[in-house]
Amino acid sequence: MVAASNALVMLIGFASGVLVSGAVFAFITIVGVVPRLAQKTNSTRYIKVYESAIMAGGLVGVGFSFFVAAGSWGYWLLPVVGLAAGIFYGCLAMSLAEVLNVIPILARRARLQRGMFFLVMAIAIGKMVGALLYFLVPGFFTP
């Protein structure tokens, strides 16, 4: 019975990981991080290298989440991982800033004169409630 329970938990964990990683990579694709980055740096001929680096970064991140970096080399590696994560999130934020220009165009085309305030507030309040549930309700976050 315990083995079946453990197998079910492993299956749910694996399926959740596949779902989340698929959503993250779909989000990166929709936002257009790779083409934007290649366009801004005038290096469109290296677009395959960018894509491979993103996939390798995802795989390395998964490896680090399974195998905790221990020992003295873990402290040496921390600045490198921090720099890579900072570059990634900076590029993602830059791409998001450019994509957010779509919201006014969408509002204009959907003829949304009234209600834009409520749309933005609903997004902000939903994000806040989700964060509060995650951090304050026992069971949502297990360290």
Number of domains the chain contains:
1
pLDDT of residue 22: 76
43 falls within a domain: yes
47 falls within a domain: yes
44 falls within a domain: yes
pLDDT of residue 142: 61
92 exposure class (CB count in 10 Å sphere: 0-12, 13-18, 19+): middle
95 exposure class (CB count in 10 Å sphere: 0-12, 13-18, 19+): buried
pLDDT of residue 70: 52
Q: Is this structure's pTM higher than 0.85?
A: no
128 exposure class (CB count in 10 Å sphere: 0-12, 13-18, 19+): exposed
Q: What is the residue range of 23's domain?
A: 2-70
**Taking Cα atoms as reference points, which of 20, 30, 21, 25 lies closest to residue 95?**
30
Q: How many alpha carbons lie under 13 Å from residue 79 in its C-beta half-sphere? A: 1
pLDDT of residue 107: 72
32 falls within a domain: yes
**Residue 122 tokens, joined:** 């609903």
41 falls within a domain: yes
19 falls within a domain: yes
15 falls within a domain: yes
Instruction: Encode the chain (143 residues) as per-residue pLDDT tens digits.
Output: 788 888 888 888 778 777 777 777 777 777 777 787 788 788 888 888 888 887 887 777 777 666 655 555 566 777 777 777 777 777 776 666 666 666 677 677 777 777 777 777 887 788 888 888 887 887 776 65
| Cα 66 from Cα 49, distance rounded (Å) | 26
pLDDT of residue 53: 83
pLDDT of residue 143: 57
